[in-house]
């Protein structure tokens, strides 16, 4: 085993030592992997000041030049893909194949956002006044704070920094204290390029320390946050006095509707994949099923077999597992408690239902619960673990009403062979995204966003890019 590595914040183009540290552990083994900065508010302010000092010069460069910097970082990432994937697996428990997908997707995302450099478009509008034109210019906001969760930690750096930088902003990233190592490795690859100093900064620390310092700062022009509803709401309150622009990507409780005419093989395969990916710790993946009565028994039988066959364990020791551990002890206890409560309320345990005793690590068995009903917390609250609760419905209207009656509104899905059923569901589901006959996973050119408590604003594609700009109207009387 290698000695724990000590990482340093990346501020103004340099790695900067910190007096206090947090230990980062492997959730599959408990081994200490690294010591990372537990920074104070003053350090966050230094990073904000560096980002602000760099912003004007950065925004004055042609967008195509800024895009070139993103491409250089993408290229560095690709050259180090295997190594980076291992860092992600070690600190987050993600299986190696998925970590590698995340790394390559991150590089592709940087390239994709770089392509927008020639398409940052304003408008010219005719005026009511003779001889006047109205110009709408797209301008950068200034300094963005990117506050990240632990579940797709590497990709989420790019999802925030790529649109921010290509449109002329600078950024301060705060990684999750659970999975910061990959962010420092990202910073090392940035440092190897000639990105101007201060454009990209990383400050690590707790939510109450660095997170709060970024959210309350009047020198931050936009907070781009991904994480839980509770933290998102605290950030909104902290940002309110400065009226800081917010982009919030929060939790989900994605419904999957399976109709009598569904391709059941497809539905079982896709919903299972959506439930076990990243050990069920994904905001947009199927977290509850509404299955129509005619196929309910078959669906539950097949899903039980499919889930029970899942290979899980330490993803470094066994490269072929399909599922690793949960992120930490608190996550494991929450899943355990939610399953127990559902059972006490009458849910029927079909498979799984217990902490998996593998000697070490925070493993939970893939679990299927049948006979669930709308009054159960398990059908309405985010579990964030490999647990699939199933409720039987009689028709589409009932499924849509139950799906919508939830504080979250991120993603949803439906399995049916009938086009009009699919379109009726798409019209009726009040969600940011609906996937028809496929697993829930967004494309970088789409738009990822939630309604209700799942967030404000969105990411990806043209609309996600423009979240990082403001529109300046200029009236020119000739």
In 3D, which of 407, 417, 364 has the Cα closest to residue 255? 407
Query: What length is written for the chain?
Result: 478
Quick note: the x/- pattern for ligand NAD over 373-412, rule CB under 6 A, is ---------x---------------------------x--
Strand ranges inside 127-277, DSSP E: 132-140, 143-147, 170-174, 200-202, 222-226, 245-249, 254-258
CB of 394 to ligand NAD, least distance (A): 30
Segment interacting with ligand NAD (CB under 6 A) among 6-14, 171-179, 297-305, 419-427: 171-179
Those residues with Cβ within 8 angstroms of residue 297's Cβ, 6 or more apart along the chain or in another chain: none
- When asked if residue 170 is in the footprint of ligand NAD (CB under 6 A), the reply is no
- When asked if residue 184 is in the footprint of ligand NAD (CB under 6 A), the reply is no
Query: Positive or negative, the Cα torsion across 423, 425, 427, 433?
Result: negative
- When asked if residue 433 is in the footprint of ligand NAD (CB under 6 A), the reply is no
CB of 384 to ligand NAD, least distance (A): 6
Q: Confirm if 143 and 172 have CB atoms less than 8 A apart.
A: yes
CB of 447 to ligand NAD, least distance (A): 12
- When asked if residue 446 is in the footprint of ligand NAD (CB under 6 A), the reply is no
Query: CA-CA distance, 317 to 73, in Å (whole number)?
Result: 30
Segment interacting with ligand NAD (CB under 6 A) among 63-71, 206-214, 298-306, 417-425: 206-214
Nearer to ligand NAD, 284 or 416 (CB): 284
- When asked if residue 291 is in the footprint of ligand NAD (CB under 6 A), the reply is no
With b for 16 or more beta-carbon neighbours within 10 A and e for fewer, the 362-394 pattern comes to bbbbbbbbbbbeeebebbbbbbbbbbbbbbbbe
- When asked if residue 469 is in the footprint of ligand NAD (CB under 6 A), the reply is no
CB of 331 to ligand NAD, least distance (A): 8
- When asked if residue 213 is in the footprint of ligand NAD (CB under 6 A), the reply is no
Q: Using the structure block, give the residue that is written with the tokens 């127990």.
A: 340
Q: What is the DSSP letter of 355?
A: B
Among 455, 457, 461, 464, binds ligand NAD (CB under 6 A): 455
- When asked if residue 235 is in the footprint of ligand NAD (CB under 6 A), the reply is yes
In 3D, which of 372, 436, 429, 376 has the Cα closest to residue 404? 429
Q: Are strands 245-249 and 222-226 parallel, antiparallel or unpaired?
A: parallel
Q: How many chain residues interact with ligand NAD (CB under 6 A)?
A: 30
Among 27, 93, 142, 251, binds ligand NAD (CB under 6 A): 251
Among 91, 111, 249, 314, binds ligand NAD (CB under 6 A): 249
Among 92, 93, 198, 211, binds ligand NAD (CB under 6 A): 211
249 given a catalytic annotation:
yes
Among 174, 272, 288, 363, binds ligand NAD (CB under 6 A): 174
* Catalytic, out of 38, 177, 249, 439: 249
Cα-flanking dihedrals φ and ψ of residue 222, to 5°? -155, 135
CB of 144 to ligand NAD, least distance (A): 14
Question: To which H or E segment does residue 235 belong?
Answer: helix 229-239
- Three-state DSSP at 6 gives strand
Nearer to ligand NAD, 113 or 268 (CB): 113
- When asked if residue 460 is in the footprint of ligand NAD (CB under 6 A), the reply is no
Q: Using the structure block, give the residue that is written with the tokens 């900067």.
A: 16
- When asked if residue 215 is in the footprint of ligand NAD (CB under 6 A), the reply is yes
Nearer to ligand NAD, 98 or 259 (CB): 98
Nearer to ligand NAD, 138 or 333 (CB): 333
**What's the start-to-end Cα distance of the chain, in Å?**
72
Strand ranges inside 54-158, DSSP E: 123-126, 132-140, 143-147
Cα-flanking dihedrals φ and ψ of residue 12, to 5°? 55, 40
Among 66, 69, 160, 234, binds ligand NAD (CB under 6 A): 234
- When asked if residue 147 is in the footprint of ligand NAD (CB under 6 A), the reply is yes
- When asked if residue 250 is in the footprint of ligand NAD (CB under 6 A), the reply is yes
- When asked if residue 456 is in the footprint of ligand NAD (CB under 6 A), the reply is no
Question: To which H or E segment does residue 297 belong?
Answer: helix 293-308
- When asked if residue 262 is in the footprint of ligand NAD (CB under 6 A), the reply is no
- When asked if residue 96 is in the footprint of ligand NAD (CB under 6 A), the reply is no
Query: CA-CA distance, 253 to 385, in Å (whole number)?
Result: 12
Sheet with 254-258, strands from edge to edge, namely 348-351, 367-370, 387-393, 286-292, 254-258, 411-415, 433-436
Query: CA-CA distance, 103 to 436, in Å (whole number)?
Result: 27
Q: Confirm if 52 and 170 have CB atoms less than 8 A apart.
A: yes
CB of 292 to ligand NAD, least distance (A): 27
- When asked if residue 228 is in the footprint of ligand NAD (CB under 6 A), the reply is yes
Active site positions, annotated: 249
**Sites of contact with ligand NAD (CB under 6 A):** 147-152, 174, 176-177, 206-208, 211-212, 215, 226-228, 231, 234-235, 249-252, 283, 382, 410, 450, 455
């Amino acid at each position: 085993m290698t000695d724990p590595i000590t990482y340093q914040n990346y501020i103004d183009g340099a790695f900067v030592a910190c007096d206090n540290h947090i230990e980062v552990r492997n959730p599959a083994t408990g081994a200490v992997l690294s010591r990372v900065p537990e920074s104070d508010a003053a350090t966050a302010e230094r990073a904000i000041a560096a980002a602000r000092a760099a912003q004007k010069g950065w925004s004055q460069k042609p967008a195509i030049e800024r895009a070139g910097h993103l491409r250089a970082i993408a290229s560095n990432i690709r050259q180090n893909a295997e190594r980076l994937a291992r860092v992600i697996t070690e600190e987050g428990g993600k299986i190696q194949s998925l970590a590698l997908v995340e790394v390559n997707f991150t590089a592709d995302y940087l390239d994709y956002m770089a392509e927008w450099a020639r398409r940052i478009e304003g408008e010219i509008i005719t005026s009511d006044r003779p001889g006047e034109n109205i110009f709408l210019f797209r301008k950068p906001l200034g300094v963005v704070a990117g506050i990240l969760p632990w579940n797709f930690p590497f990709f989420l750096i790019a999802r925030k920094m790529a649109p921010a930088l290509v449109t002329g902003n600078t950024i301060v990233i705060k990684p999750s204290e659970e999975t910061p190592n990959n962010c420092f490795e990202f910073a090392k690859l940035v440092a190897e390029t000639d990105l101007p100093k201060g454009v990209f900064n990383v400050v690590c620390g707790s939510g109450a320390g660095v997170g709060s310092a970024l959210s309350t700062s009047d020198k931050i022009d936009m907070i781009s946050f991904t994480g839980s509803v509770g933290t998102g709401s605290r950030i909104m309150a902290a940002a309110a006095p400065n009226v800081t622009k917010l982009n919030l990507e929060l939790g989900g409780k994605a419904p999957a509707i399976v109709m009598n005419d569904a391709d059941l093989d497809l539905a079982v395969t896709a919903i299972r994949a959506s439930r076990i990916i990243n050990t069920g710790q994904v905001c947009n993946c199927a977290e509850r099923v509404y299955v129509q009565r005619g196929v309910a028994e078959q669906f539950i039988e097949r899903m039980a077999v499919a889930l029970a066959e899942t290979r899980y364990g330490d993803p470094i020791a066994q490269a072929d597992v399909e599922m690793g551990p949960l992120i930490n002890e608190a996550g494991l206890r929450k899943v355990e408690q939610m399953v127990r409560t559902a059972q006490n309320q009458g849910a029927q345990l079909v498979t799984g239902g217990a902490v998996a005793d593998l000697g070490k690590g925070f493993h939970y068995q893939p679990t299927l619960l049948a006979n669930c009903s709308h009054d159960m917390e398990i059908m309405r609250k985010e579990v964030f673990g490999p647990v699939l609760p199933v409720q039987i419905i009689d028709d589409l209207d009932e499924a849509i009403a139950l799906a919508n009656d939830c504080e979250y509104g991120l993603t949803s899905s439906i399995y049916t062979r009938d086009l009009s059923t699919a379109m009726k569901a798409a019209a009726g589901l009040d969600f940011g995204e609906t996937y028809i006959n496929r697993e829930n996973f967004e494309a970088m050119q789409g738009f990822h966003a939630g309604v209700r408590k799942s967030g404000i604003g969105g990411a990806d594609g043209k609309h996600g890019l423009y979240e990082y700009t403001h529109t300046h109207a200029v009236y020119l009387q000739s």
